[in-house]
Amino acid sequence: VNEMPSIQGKIVEYYTRRAVPSAVVIVNDRSTVTDQAGRFSMTVPLGVVTIKVTHRQFYDYITSLNITASIAYDIGIITLQSKVRAL
């Protein structure tokens, strides 16, 4: 059985460290949405992938990752900067 590599992580707000639910995580042509705890996981292809995180209340986050083995990669915590500054 050929295991697909996968990534998992958590999306939080930069200043408050609060989880960001309903953020869209896009990897190449695949996408998923974070849960209430800001967590996501998805299968990804081997090779260099582009990871983009979008949410209408936050600025986009984009990074690249080189997927070299068919394992689960925990990419940890990704922080998003809010478009609206709390006063």
* Averaged confidence pLDDT in the chain: 94
- pLDDT for 3 equals 81
Asked if the model's pLDDT at residue 14 lies above 90, the reply is: yes
Q: In this model, does residue 16 exceed pLDDT 80?
A: yes
Q: What is the DSSP letter of 82?
A: B
Instruction: Band the pLDDT of 86: cuts 50, 70, 90.
Output: low
Helices then strands, each counted (H, E), the chain: 0, 7
Q: What is the pLDDT of residues 57-77, one digit of tens each?
A: 999 999 999 999 999 999 999
Tell me, what amino acid is at 15?
Y
Model confidence, pTM: 0.91
